[in-house]
Structure 1
Amino acid sequence: MSFELQISRDRQGVLRAYANAPFEVLGGYLEQDIQARVACAEEVLTICSFIVTVGGKWTGTGNAHTVTISATGVRIENEFVEDASGICEMSLDDFRAAVEAWQRAVSAPW
């Protein structure tokens, strides 16, 4: 199943990300861990590029999620949800596209 991501600003101007099932955790990761920080998005994209070029695996924990990035895919786990609803698995290409879209939204004037 392919993911769909919608990014918009709420009434207070805060960016929000909504992904279709079973990728809802992705929206939380973008909002809560990358947040409105272009540098953080760039760091994640650099890690993705490194994995594509060199291989291997990278795992990092942020404010609310642990993300594991490998050439075979990405796993995002919400650290505050104990069942499977707090886990999202997706392709590396889809994950990169989502982070790139979030980075563009963060960088855009509003």
Structure 2
Amino acid sequence: MAISTMHDTEADAVYVTLAAGASVRTVDFGPGTLVDVDAAGRPLGIEVLRPHREWPVAAIGERFALDAGTLDTLASIGDSFRRACSISDAFRSLDLTPLARVPC
């Protein structure tokens, strides 16, 4: 299964699906980062509230022994949210607020 994302703009949250399966518990990685795991302890998905902030990718990768490709993908997804926030901030500084729709 390919990694996929779902962004809920109203909740200001993103869910990254890593694998198919039934979640049996959720591991908390600090405020706003939750990892759903299956019965074998494998990560199925990651929910990040306020995704424009730094994500604890290294800690998640270490805890679940994620491969380098998955870690790179997670870092890239997080970077894309932070980049969007930087662009939004630039528009706000130019007083182009109607164009800046990213909640940072």
Bigger RCO of structures 1 and 2 (CA < 8 A, at least 6 apart): 1
Scaled by the length of structure 1, what TM-score is found? 0.39
Question: Over alpha carbons, which structure has the higher Rg?
Answer: 2
Higher helix proportion (structure 1 or 2): 1
